[in-house]
């Protein structure tokens, strides 16, 4: 019996086992990444759905948003607070989505284009544009720069 041959065979088997383990680990990491991205996307969708349900389910809030979008001066102080809170909520959802798309490195042009379209559609309203100008300090510098670039491109 040649002990050197047996030792070499053992080393080959150990190397194969390490390679198989690394490949298995890489596959598990990839599957976990895909699941994490899906969970984040589902969370963002749930946030948008909740936001839309909030507005659709409250005629008073919908009226405040319509009047505030035209002009912030049309709102009473309590209405202005509801308008600002609702706008902040909506833009926080967009900021979270922006962070997931751009900052995390998971950029998707189609999603970015959809987000930009949402921002453009909102900021054409004078009251929303005024609210945005007054509240940019509530958002990250990177998100503010992105929103301003979308506005400039419109």
pLDDT tens digit sequence for 12-41: 888 888 888 888 888 888 787 666 666 666
What are the structural domain ranges in the chain? 40-153
Q: What is the pLDDT of residues 84-143, one digit of tens each?
A: 999 999 999 999 988 888 767 776 778 888 889 999 999 999 999 999 999 999 999 999
- Which pTM value belongs to this model? 0.74
pLDDT interval class at 148 (50, 70, 90): very high
In the numeric block, which tokens belong to residue 108?
A: 């998707």
* 77 pLDDT above the threshold of 90: yes
In the numeric block, which tokens belong to residue 132?
A: 């945005």
Q: Would you state the pLDDT for residue 30?
A: 75
* 54 pLDDT above the threshold of 90: no
Q: Would you state the pLDDT for residue 95?
A: 94
Q: Would you state the pLDDT for residue 34?
A: 67
């Amino acid at each position: 019996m040649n002990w050197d041959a047996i030792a070499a065979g053992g080393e080959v088997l150990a190397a194969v086992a390490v390679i198989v383990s690394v490949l298995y680990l890489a596959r598990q990491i990839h599957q976990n990444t895909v699941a994490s991205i899906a969970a984040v996307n589902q969370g963002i969708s749930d946030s948008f759905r909740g936001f839309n349900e909030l507005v659709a389910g409250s005629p008073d809030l919908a009226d405040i948003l319509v009047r505030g979008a035209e002009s912030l001066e049309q709102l009473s102080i309590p209405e202005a607070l509801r308008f600002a809170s609702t706008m902040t909520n909506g833009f926080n959802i967009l900021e979270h989505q922006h962070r997931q798309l751009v900052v995390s490195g998971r950029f998707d042009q189609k999603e970015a284009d959809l987000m930009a379209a949402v921002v453009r559609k909102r900021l054409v309203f004078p009251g929303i544009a005024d609210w945005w100008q007054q509240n940019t300090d509530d958002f990250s510098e990177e998100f503010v720069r992105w929103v301003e670039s979308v506005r400039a491109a419109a």
